[in-house]
Chain A
Amino acid sequence: MIAEKLLAPAPPRPPLAGPVNAARRLVRTHAFRLAGLYFAVFVLSVLGVLFFVYWTSADFVERQTETTLDAEITGLAEQYAQRGLSGLVQIVAARSAGDRGDGMLYLVANQDGRPLAGNISGWPAGAPTGEGSLSFQIEVPVKGREETHPARGKLFVIPDGYRLLVGRDISDAAAFRDRVKTTLVWSGLLALALGLVGGTVMSRNMLRRVEEVNRTAERVIAGNLSDRVPRLGTSDEFDQLAANLNGMLDQIERLMAGMREVTDNVAHDLKTPLARLRARLELALLGPADAPTQAEAIRAAIEEADRLLATFNALLSIAEAEAGAQREPTEAFDLADLARAVAELYEPVAEEEGFAMRLESTPGILIRGDRHLLSQAVANLLDNALKYGAPLAGGGEIVIAVSRQDGHAVLEVRDRGPGIPEAERESVFDRFVRLEPSRSTPGNGLGLSLVRAVAHRHSASVALADNRPGLTVRLDFPEAPARAE
């Protein structure tokens, strides 16, 4: 299969050819094995049911015959004990007289097999001389013709050398048994055939749906990322599998698109300053070769390079936060302490720029994570608030709030600036997005991207809201269990 070839250096396999290999492949499929198992269980249950039916019908009739014969022998033996041989002969003669329709056969005979009484013409050939059961055949007149019927019998040896045979014509029972047997064999065969067909259909059906998944996967591997597994809408396991696979493919496609976009952005936003840097140096080379001019050009070039490096570093920080590989065990710390430390770093700048900065915090809110990354995220938010959070009238206000809301640790940075229009609140998190068309404020458009990456790494959500007026950036953390060290 293509997937195997691409993903793993599978051991070399003989090329598949001919029906033998096709059959071998079929045998290896899970669907086939499942169908086989299903078939085996099916056959076993059918056989069980048929045996039960046989046992309760045909076999039951035979067992009943035996019981009847036993009872009769016992009864006659008692009669013999009470009334002697003559009494027995009398009873046998009476019972043998006329056709009672129950097929009972009686015979009392002497040692030589000569009948004394009974409805059988002679001692059956090959009958044992001792007591016990026997099968024999009798001639029965049916509609003027003699017919041979099978019979079951029991022998009772009477002292003085006489013997009593009680039997029963079992032709009806035998016919019934044959009938049952035939029926059972046919129904067994039918069930077998149905089981085979059912198993095959089931296996084929399953195989087909697995094949669909496989073919889609192969097409995706071949590069068609927008291909999806067809769904039947049956919401069974296969449909769920298809839905999950499709969801996974959606996610992959989105990530790929995101990455492409990032690459494009990186290309654009890094190439522009690089081009600028190059142009500056080239101009310096072309211009007058006096030291002050060149020194100025070099200084400007270094500044440009530093800005580029800062952009690179920001991109790397984002990538690191997004990768989320937590090499060091994360620590639990007080969110308010962290916010206070960053606020303290920014407080003098804020004051210098005419902002009133305030921290509203509830102590004792612990979260677990990477303190450095989180500090950097908060610093970015404060950077943004300082850059964009000034109201036109002046006298800005920046509030850093740490609170507990519905069991979540919440950190908010609020300003009184122009805010961000609702339609753009999602896109500002993307890399290199800057809402200011003139781009007059220094910055690389990566600040909020890092905030989002750091938030995701801490399983936090980040949202922008209206501070009426101004902007509220809200980070929503799952709170660490208090003092779970």
Chain B
Amino acid sequence: MKLLVIEDDRETAAYLVKGLSESGYTVDHSADGRDGLFLATSGSHDAIILDRMLPGIDGLALLGALRAAQIRTPALILSALGSVDDRVKGLRSGGDDYLVKPFAFSELLARIEALLRRGVPEPTTTRLRVADLELDLLTRSVKRGDKTIDLLPREFQLLEYLMRNVGHVVTRTMLLENVWDYHFDPQTNVIDVHVSRLRQKIDKQFERPLLHTVRGAGYCLRAAE
């Protein structure tokens, strides 16, 4: 998997390149908007991580130019500007995800993984399945083995999101953004309690747990240990 990092701050860039390389990605780096745009137009990257404020061309303008050139490489915007308006503007100009600086590296990794999956067109399915856990999007019902599991609407959404990201870490912030559409950090561990309730329902009476906590990062739904 090949990533393009467009970031002008040298230390942040070094940290990103090092961290992403260690996580198994091939990383190209550009410190300048113009060069970044040039590299990005080659279209050989699987995802782009770019800073919002860049010398040469501003990050949002770069994305606009890229999208205008019909290059659909998924892009994650990094920015110190974190208000909802800033976020909306970033996503409107062609970003696929928006991460506010500073961020935990685990958060960035989780989001890049999600982005890379988004690039792959999902087969139109009405049924999600992880091991013996089955979620039917049409009847909005959940079964594990032959046991029917009753979920509240929000728990259903939460499980759907986890199942769509099966095998990958999703962070609390990702859950809050994608399941609840909130962009602030609550002072209380609200997400943890929601997840643990869901876990009660889908894992409690079964031998092999599916929903795992990843320390310092978030949660991961996966079939095997």
Contacts and interface: CB of A to CB of B under 8 A. Distances in A.
Interface string A340-380: 01001110110010000000000000000010110110011
Interface in B2-50: none
Contacts of B83: 316-317, 320
Contacts, number: 56
Interface in A207-251: none
Contact of B193 (A328, A348, A442, A443): A348
A161 B88 CA distance: 114
A345 B85 contact: no
B190 interface: yes
Contacts of A348: 190, 193-194, 197
Nearest to B85: A327
Given A313-B82, A344-B154, A349-B193, A383 B185 contact: no
A386 interface: yes
A309 interface: yes
B189 A309 contact: no
Residue among B102, B180, B188 having the largest count of chain A Cβ atoms under 10 Å: B188
B182 interface: yes
Nearest to B89: A327
Contacts of A345: 180, 182, 186, 190, 194
A447 interface: yes
B190 A310 contact: no
B113 to A, nearest CB: 22
B102 A309 contact: yes
Nearest to A345: B190
B200 to A, nearest CB: 10
B184 interface: yes
A380 B187 CA distance: 8
A383 B188 contact: yes
Nearest to A446: B187
Contacts of B154: 344
The secondary-structure label for the interface of chain A is helix
Given A309-B102, A348-B194, A375-B182, A447 B84 contact: no
Given A316-B82, A372-B182, A386 B88 contact: no
A349 B190 contact: yes
B183 interface: yes
A375 B102 CA distance: 23
A383 B193 contact: no
A34 B196 CA distance: 79
A349 B182 contact: no
Interface residues of B, number: 20
A348 B193 CA distance: 6
A348 B84 CA distance: 26
Interface string B50-90: 00000000000000000000000000000000111100100
Contact of A328 (B88, B186, B194, B197): B88
A472 B138 CA distance: 43
Contacts of A320: 83
Contact of A376 (B82, B85, B88, B184): B184
A317 B85 contact: no
A432 B187 CA distance: 15
Interface in A286-317: 309-310, 313, 316-317
B205 to A, nearest CB: 20
Interface string A378-417: 0110110011000000000000000000000000000000
A443 B187 contact: yes
Nearest to A319: B83
Contacts of B102: 309
Contacts of A328: 85, 88
A248 to B, nearest CB: 29
A383 B188 CA distance: 6
Contacts of A443: 187
Interface string A423-457: 00000000000000000001100010000000000
B106 to A, nearest CB: 11
Interface in B172-202: 180, 182-190, 193-194, 197
Contacts of A379: 182, 184, 186
Contacts of A382: 188
B183 A372 contact: yes
A309 B103 CA distance: 10
Contact of B187 (A327, A344, A442): A442
Nearest to A352: B193
Contacts of B186: 345-346, 379, 383
B134 to A, nearest CB: 24
Nearest to B83: A320
A328 B23 CA distance: 39
A324 to B, nearest CB: 12
26 contacts: A309-B102, A310-B187, A313-B82, A316-B83, A344-B154, A345-B182, A345-B186, A345-B194, A346-B186, A348-B193, A348-B197, A349-B188, A349-B189, A349-B193, A370-B84, A372-B84, A372-B182, A372-B183, A373-B84, A376-B182, A379-B182, A382-B188, A383-B187, A442-B187, A443-B187, A447-B187
Interface of A: 309-310, 313, 316-317, 320, 327-328, 341, 344-346, 348-349, 352, 370, 372-373, 375-376, 379-380, 382-383, 386-387, 442-443, 447
Given A313-B185, A370-B84, A443-B187, 16 more contacts: A309-B102, A313-B82, A317-B184, A327-B85, A328-B88, A344-B154, A345-B180, A349-B188, A349-B193, A372-B84, A372-B184, A375-B182, A375-B184, A379-B182, A379-B186, A387-B187
The 8 closest A-B pairs by CB, nearest first: A348-B193, A383-B187, A376-B184, A372-B84, A349-B193, A327-B85, A349-B190, A320-B83
